[in-house]
Amino acid sequence: MPRDHSAGRLLVVDDDSATLRICDTLLRKEGYRVAVACSAAEARHIVAVEGTAAFAAVLSDFRMPTEDGLSLLSHLRSIDPSLSTILMTAEGEKDLVAQAMREGVNSYVDKPFAPKAVRDAVLAAVAATHRQRQLRHDASSARAVAATQRLLLGREAAKLGGRLRLSSRAHARAGGDFASVFGLGDDRFVVFVTDVSGHDLRAAYHSVYLQGVARGLLAEGADLVQVFTHLNRLLLDEWNTRGRIELSLAACAVAIDLRAQTSQLINCGLPCPRFSNNEGWSDVTSENGSSPLGWFDELPVMVSRPFAHGRLQFWSDGLDDLAERLGVSPLALNHRLQDEPSVLDLLPISAADDIIAASLDLSPSGSSPAGFPLIAESYSKPARDRIDDIQRYYEHSLRLALPTLAETTMVDALLCLREGLLNALDHGCGDDPAVLATVQVAFAPASQSLLLCISDTGAGHQFDLGNHEVAAACDLLTSHRGLIMMKNLSQNFTITSGGSRVTMEIPVALES
């Protein structure tokens, strides 16, 4: 009886009729269907008529008149690289065997051959053909799914008339990260981002299925809590039974009302979205999410909050992971992705997970936010010992977000950020670990400038910087010279909140 994984049709080629009869009998006993050819020309004709897909492997003698077996097998593999081939050679022809292996022949059999050697070689060759053809089929299916995903993402983004900018990249050809937009009418809509466990076609299918469930629930008037509760129960009851997590879903949904300027947010397992105002200052106190859906019965509380005109940015954990390995801000990476999605092909490190990233414009119709957030980080006093690493982080982030930024602008920005952070850590934070210094950087394309903001939650200070600057110039005072330097490097320089907040604007020069 034939082995299940060896079922298939074989082509045996040899100019010796006795060898053909022996191979035909031997292989038919193993359950194979066999076609024979007495020359390379006859074999080419058979394949031309029936196609390479009709055969699971080809076994050919080397020494034949007119055309040898190696030439024939090379020709067949050029037509169909998934077709496994076996060369029969005289014993001891080591140079020929080495050449055959280099040209892609799967294996060889010495003549005169032992039946077991032929059986083993054919068994392995047929299995390899089946494996390669399955991979080729999977790759073709993955390309089709990936093309569908890209088409759907483009349509989802178009629903908001340019407000939503989406960028995605599957770790394999198709993946489990996806975003959808559900319109609720009257400037109200829901943006729903999901990350299904896995990076294959199965994950892509599950992602589309679960998004479809969410779409149906929202269409029936369910709120976000009801949608997430239903999805969680579906996973727990139908997939993750007996205490095993077979499928999980990291998901974040934001319901936006543009007229009321309010949002409702629920997040399970994805990085927390970032709201930024019109200037580009990002909310770094976003509420943390919970574990992905399908793990536990409990769900996080939905958070309702107002928002200012600006942007909402969100992404899957694949972007967080890539940003960490690159040593850059995820905000900077997200900004570059929205401008140039192909940047992922240019990075020195490849993404290890699916990525989906989005930027949603929350401004009134006909306008757009002035600033794009690039960096938003908070630090306590011990961060002072890492100031050189932090400066490199800022530099890498700015170079990624704004690749044509001139070196003069980079130096000015880094000097201001370094000195401003040190000043906030030393004078604002003191030794209290609960007091934090926050550094933010935004890019304002209209004015072609970098906006810097350094703030802390300390008590601040009370003095007149202008008078101090004059006194320092006359008497060579050493205190607060960092503030003086930042003011001189900035086009606009402002101290507010009792001295605990410094904002700067640095004109951007771009290299050609």
Q: Is 300 helix (H, G, I), strand (E, B) or coil?
A: coil
Do 383 and 494 sit in the same domain of this protein?
yes
What is the tally of structural domains in the chain? 3
Do 115 and 249 sit in the same domain of this protein?
no
369, 404, 421 — which closes off a domain?
Answer: 369
Could you report the per-residue pLDDT of 90-106, keeping only the tens digit for each? 766 656 666 666 666 77
Do 443 and 363 sit in the same domain of this protein?
no
344, 369, 394 — which closes off a domain?
Answer: 369
| Rounded Cα gap, residues 2 and 210, in angstroms | 42
| CATH code of the domain covering residue 110 | 3.40.50.2300
Could you report the per-residue pLDDT of 139-183, keeping only the tens digit for each? 555 555 556 555 665 666 677 777 888 777 765 555 567 778 888
Please check whether residue 303 lies inside any domain of the structure: yes
Q: Which residue has the higher pLDDT, 136 or 416?
A: 416
Do 172 and 286 sit in the same domain of this protein?
yes
pLDDT at 142: 54
Could you report the per-residue pLDDT of 103-123, keeping only the tens digit for each? 667 778 888 888 898 888 898
pLDDT at 426: 86
| Mean pLDDT within 346-366 | 81
Please check whether residue 144 lies inside any domain of the structure: no
369, 398, 414 — which closes off a domain?
Answer: 369
pLDDT at 89: 82
Please check whether residue 277 lies inside any domain of the structure: yes
Beta strands in 411-471 (DSSP E): 437-444, 449-456
| Rounded Cα gap, residues 459 and 499, in angstroms | 8
**For the chain, percent helix, then strand, then coil, each to nearest 5?**
45, 25, 30
Report the DSSP pairing between strands 9-13 and 57-61.
Answer: parallel
| CATH code of the domain covering residue 174 | 3.60.40.10
Please check whether residue 147 lies inside any domain of the structure: no
Closest CA to 213 of 180, 240, 236: 180
Instruction: Provide, rounded to the nearest whole percent, the portion of the chain with pLDDT above 90.
Output: 30
Q: Where are the alpha helices (DSSP H) in 290-374?
A: 317-326, 330-339
Does the pLDDT value for residue 18 go beyond 80? yes
445 touches 437 (CB < 8 A): no
This prediction's pTM: 0.69
Q: How far is CA 388 from the centre of its chain?
A: 29
Do 52 and 115 sit in the same domain of this protein?
yes
Please check whether residue 203 lies inside any domain of the structure: yes
Does the pLDDT value for residue 403 go beyond 60? yes
**249-257: strand order across its sheet:** 177-185, 188-196, 249-257, 262-268, 303-306
pLDDT at 92: 62
Please check whether residue 153 lies inside any domain of the structure: no
Please check whether residue 149 lies inside any domain of the structure: no
- b or e along 158-173 (b: 16 or more beta carbons within 10 Å of the residue's beta carbon)? eebeebbbbbbbbbbb
- Taking the CA atoms of 217, 219, 224 and 226 in sequence, report the sign of the dihedral they define: negative
| Rounded Cα gap, residues 167 and 150, in angstroms | 9
Please check whether residue 388 lies inside any domain of the structure: yes
Do 24 and 163 sit in the same domain of this protein?
no
Do 66 and 210 sit in the same domain of this protein?
no
Instruction: Provide, rounded to the nearest whole percent, the portion of the chain with pLDDT above 70.
Output: 83
pLDDT grade, residue 427 (50/70/90)?
confident
pLDDT at 37: 92
Do 416 and 465 sit in the same domain of this protein?
yes
Do 391 and 362 sit in the same domain of this protein?
no
Could you report the per-residue pLDDT of 254-280, keeping only the tens digit for each? 999 988 889 999 999 898 889 999 889
Do 44 and 132 sit in the same domain of this protein?
yes
Containing structural domain, residue 209: 159-369
Do 113 and 255 sit in the same domain of this protein?
no
User: What does the mean pLDDT of the chain come to?
Assistant: 82
Residues 6+ apart with CB under 8 A from 35: 9, 10, 11, 12, 46, 55
Do 166 and 120 sit in the same domain of this protein?
no
Does the pLDDT value for residue 229 go beyond 90? yes
pLDDT at 114: 85
292 touches 328 (CB < 8 A): no
